[in-house]
Structure 1
Amino acid sequence: MNDKLYDIETIVGMNKLYKTLLDEVDTGIHVINKNSKTIVYNRKMAEIESMDRDDVLHKNLLDVFSFHGKQNSTLIETLHTGQVKRRKKQTYFNNKGKEITTINDSFPIKNKGEIVAVVEIAKDVTQLERMIKENVLQKKNSNFTFDQIIGDSEPMQAVIEEAKRATRTASSVLIVGDTGTGKELFAQSIHNGSHRSSGPFISQNCAAIPDSLMEGLLFGTKKGAFTGAVDRPGLFEQANGGTLLLDEINSLDLALQAKLLRAVQEKTIRRVGDMQEKKIDVRIIATMNEDPIDAINERRLRRDLYYRLSVVTLLIPSLNERKDDIWLLINHFIDKYNALFEMNVEHISEAAKAVLYQHHWPGNVRELEHTIEGTMNMIMDENVIDIANLPISFLKRYPFHKKHAQTIDRNIINFDNNKEEVQPLQTKMYELEKAYIQRVLEVHNHNISRTATKLGISRQSLQYRLKKFGL
């Protein structure tokens, strides 16, 4: 009796052990019996398929998941054929219609020659598949040109001219600017204005991808390099003959930055797990939303990679530094959302302009667009955007006074009542700005960081002005 009790306790304990092990492994495990019903379904598999275990366990597999086209369940195929399947990719849908892609190893369990169950070990590649599809879409939608960049202000026109000159060569370009300033618009315009315009344009945000996936995404993978690896070209190969835009390059792991540097210098890449070098012809455009020197000092950017990428450097001014362009942008966004929303808004009132002009616009052009889109969502039958239509956050932060509409950001300049002293406004503003920056530079011993902080502008904005004024 005691022996039997001990055996039962052992069995119960072993069952708990197996269940714990199944739920702790970082690989999906799914087991069906000979009737196609699920008998084992671990926690990782439930995460991969976004399912509750109760919705899968003890149910027929084909009643829960769907397989489109000629694809069939690798579990069911193994149950019917008895053949082991290794590293087979499968795309299917859960009961909520969510698409899932896995790399599977499936093998039968036999008892006296008869298949009694099938075990499947699955690796999730849904995210990687989605990223590849997104890159294909980005490749097809690289339609921006310089004519579509909105801005008549002096800072904007200067950087547009610099970018146009960069279309003549295949040198690497580093575009520096705050979030929302339109860095990708410049990258696409450079590509479409160059001799590479007929080639692919592929864009990838480096901050959006885990380090564990980024190397394979950039350089490709060779079949057998790791469990589930298949022969797949990376972004460099996909962009061959064209342009590869690497957004937020400073988000890349430093070890991966070293591999990227080698690819840019040698013009060759090697797929993960491969021994063979492949020649590439790709122009690299990289973007950053912070000062490169700060990123280097804080070990987020390799100094040698910075020098390689910054053959041409473009400093995109923030919206706060080119406020003269706000009205052009507002009119553009009104036209855009009139078409999308089937509305007939004609313009924005001077009073509403005055409120918007006071805002610092930390989100830059993107924030302005979202503000206009949100405003037009609140409009009923009006054909003019007025103060009452603006987001409540603006009205609370910037109380409107009539004088704002009459004197938007105007400075009073004293001069003698002598007509010969009166100069064109643009000339006077240019001289005043140059003299003031020069004076603040001298006070801070020409230290760029301290001068920029004192002036309340970014380092790249100050560098732009120093270049503009020849200081």
Structure 2
Amino acid sequence: MIGKWLNYMARLHDGVDAILIADRHGIIEYSAMFSERENGMIDEGFIGKSILEAYPELTEETSSHFRVMRTGKPVLNEKQELTDFYGRRIMLVSSTFPLEDGGELIGTMETSVFYHKDSQLDGKNHWLTNSHTGLFRLEDIITRNSEMLALKDTVQRVAANPSPVLIWGETGTGKELFAQALHSHSTRSKGPFISQNCAAIPTTLLESTLFGTTRGSYTGAENRKGLLKQADGGTLFLDEVNSMDLSLQAKILKAIEEKKFRPVGGEQDVHSDVRIVSAMNVDPITAVRDGLLRRDLFYRLGVVQLALPPLRKRPEDIPLLTDFYVERYNRKMERTITGVSELVRNALLAYDWPGNVRELRNAVESAFNLCTGSVIQLSDIPRYIFYHEEEKAAEPAAEALPDGMGLQEAVRRYEKGLIVRTLEQSRTITEAAEKLKLTRQALQYKMMKYHLNS
């Protein structure tokens, strides 16, 4: 049944971006969505789920599937803005058709094309979208966390403006992902997106990289455009901007303010219309206080500020991201792993994730390399993740000394308590001595010392 309808719809709709087939109960039997990075239709992991589970905002009243099942009539060219199971915001124009078998209504098929708020239909019923492929968009940011959803709304609001944006957060929180989304949703989306990690190259080389060079400015120098000019009409993303030398920060500030700069060794100013998006992995106020970031540059770069929360502050996203990466590596490695075990899921939730989303992604990839079954088990994930809680639990709780108690008395009380607990858990003094790694005579001496002979 599915094959017949897919062939029919493929002939009817050239350029469909998404197809979904559901049975009469709303259970998804087939689902595929176009991916620019995969350059083709991919399974998003929705098969077997209810439509209302795949798109939690929908109800039986608002879902086009259930409306078609009630009326038997198609719903055509309906605009929809939905948040899917993975927390991605998508905008579609959809048509939903009834499926019949022997005169009986057995389900629906929905075909969709993507659209964006400021886009228009072209002559082939395709919505004109961002032609700059390969960059992340807001719908690629996977989250259910309220703080992250608010940040996505902020990006949507400020993307169209030319103001500089400063993004800060721990390593692996997705700063470049947000920077690319800012560009993709902006009026500059057809222009270049240039990214440079300021900590990756020495200061002397960074200056010529940013501003360009003129022939003869130094031995071997040629006429070469800098990144500020290469990004003309687009966005320049400066990561770890706080690692930039302070003297170079002054030159960057001048270039941003005046929208012009002078290449290394040049005699003429070069004009450039570029939006600056910068990032750092420390609180910018701390960077200013520690002398790593000029205060005046901070004021200019931080017109709009986005503070990304670490993964440990958004635990509701850990299962969501885990499932997302399982689906990604299933496609990439041609596997059919269905998910992770309950023990693994609990271990992932208990871990602090100092490397944030990047570390979680790498942990799932590591598990795919070791997993031999259909479910990722505890033995498949990196050992430090599930040993983390055991080691933390094994550490004695840090306690402040009571008033008037010195170190010697505190040590004496701790030793006495440890001996008492070990004796209670042992059948003989010899067994207790073995557990404490003491000789029997040494343990007996300590028992006499602490009056434990009885």
Match of 1:357 in 2: 349
Could you tell me which residue of structure 2 aligns to residue 334 of structure 1? 326
Contact 2:165 2:304 in 1 (8 A): yes
For the pair 1:389 / 2:380, whether they are aligned, the reply is yes
Partner of 1:251: 243
2:265 is the alignment partner of 1:265: no
> Partners in 2 of 1:348 and 1:155 — Cα distance?
26
Structure 1 runs of 4+ aligned residues shifted over 2 Å read 139-142, 394-400
What's the CA shift for 1:387?
A: 1.8
1:186 corresponds to which of 167, 178, 188: 178
SS in structure 2 of the partner of residue 196 of structure 1:
coil
Equivalent residue letter for 2:214: K
Q: How far does the alpha carbon of each residue in 1:268-315 deviate from its partner, in whole angstroms, 9 at most, with x for none?
A: 011000110111100000001001111111111000000000010001
CA shift, 1:168, in A, is 2.1
1:224 to 194, 199, 216: 216
1:335 counterpart SS class: helix
Mapped pair 1:398 → 2:394: no
Q: Please say if 1:309 is aligned against 2:309.
A: no
How far apart in 2 are the matches of 1:347 and 1:391?
16
Q: Does structure 1 retain, via aligned residues, the 8 Å contact 2:136–2:184?
A: yes
Matches of 2:304 and 2:388 in 1, distance apart? 40
Contact 1:142 1:201 in 2 (8 A): no
Q: Give CA-to-partner distance per residue, 1:149-173, whole Å, 9 cap, x none.
A: 1001111101111111111201000
Alpha-carbon distance between aligned partners in 1 of 2:314 and 2:303, rounded to the nearest angstrom: 26
Which of 274, 285, 289 is 2:277 aligned to?
A: 285
Are 1:372 and 2:364 counterparts? yes
Aligned residues, how many? 261
CA–CA separation in structure 1 for the residues paired with 2:214 and 2:153: 43
Whole-angstrom CA distance in 2 between matches of 1:398 and 1:349: 18
Partner of 2:452: none
Equivalent residue number for residue 75 of structure 2 = none
Shift of 1:399: 4.5
Matched AA of 1:394: I
**Separation (CA, whole Å) in 2 of partners of 1:184 and 1:341:** 25
Q: What secondary structure is seen at the aligned counterpart in 2 of 1:323? A: coil
Distance in 1 of aligned mates of 2:170 and 2:387: 26
Q: Deviations over 1:89-108 (max 9, x none)?
A: xxxxxxxxxxxxxxxxxxxx
Q: For 2:146 and 2:243, how far apart are their aligned partners in 1?
A: 31
Residue 168 of structure 2 contacts residue 308 of structure 2 at CA under 8 Å; is this kept in 1? yes
The answer to whether the 8 Å contact 1:199/1:241 transfers is yes
Out of 162, 169, 177, the residue aligned to residue 177 of structure 1 is 169
Tell me: CA distance 1:142–1:255, structure 2 relative to 1, closer, same or farther (3 Å).
farther
Structure 1 residues 95-114: aligned runs within 5 Å = none
Cα distance in structure 2, aligned partners of 1:306 and 1:202: 21
SS at match of 1:161: helix
List runs of 5+ in structure 2 lacking aligned partners: 1-130, 392-454
CA–CA distance in structure 2, aligned partners of residues 388 and 232 of structure 1: 52
Aligned to 2:225, which of 220, 233, 256? 233
User: How high is the TM-score relative to the length of structure 2?
Assistant: 0.56
Letter aligned with residue 166 of structure 1: V
| Counterpart contact for 2:132–2:189, Cα < 8 Å | no
CA RMSD of aligned residues (A): 1.5
Assess if the C-alpha contact under 8 Å between 2:215 and 2:222 holds in 1: yes
Q: What is the rounded CA distance, in whole Å, between the counterparts of 1:348 and 1:309 in structure 2?
A: 42
Please state whether the residue corresponding to 1:204 is helix, strand or coil. strand
Task: Report deviation, 1:141.
Answer: 6.4
In the alignment, the residues of structure 2 paired with residue 326 and residue 187 of structure 1 have an alpha-carbon distance, to the nearest angstrom, of: 22
Q: Deviation per CA, 1:361-416, whole angstroms, max 9, x where unpaired?
A: 11000000011111111111x1111223222222322349xxxxxxxxxxxxxxxx
**Aligned match of 1:210:** 202
Which structure dedicates a bigger proportion of its chain to helix? 1
Q: Is the Cα–Cα contact under 8 Å of residues 142 and 188 in structure 1 kept in the other structure? A: no
The aligned amino acid for 1:392 is R
Shift of 1:209: 0.8
Once residues 277 and 143 of structure 1 are traced to their aligned partners in structure 2, the CA distance between those partners, rounded to angstroms, is 31
Q: Any conservation in 2 of the 1:347–1:385 contact (CA below 8 Å)?
A: yes
State yes or no: 1:156 paired with 2:156: no
Whether the aligned pair in 1 keeps the contact of 2:371 and 2:377 (CA below 8 Å) is: no
1:324 aligns with 2:316: yes
**Which residues of structure 1 form unaligned runs of 5+?**
1-138, 401-471
Structure 1, residues 58-96: CA drift from partner, whole Å, max 9, x if none?
xxxxxxxxxxxxxxxxxxxxxxxxxxxxxxxxxxxxxxx
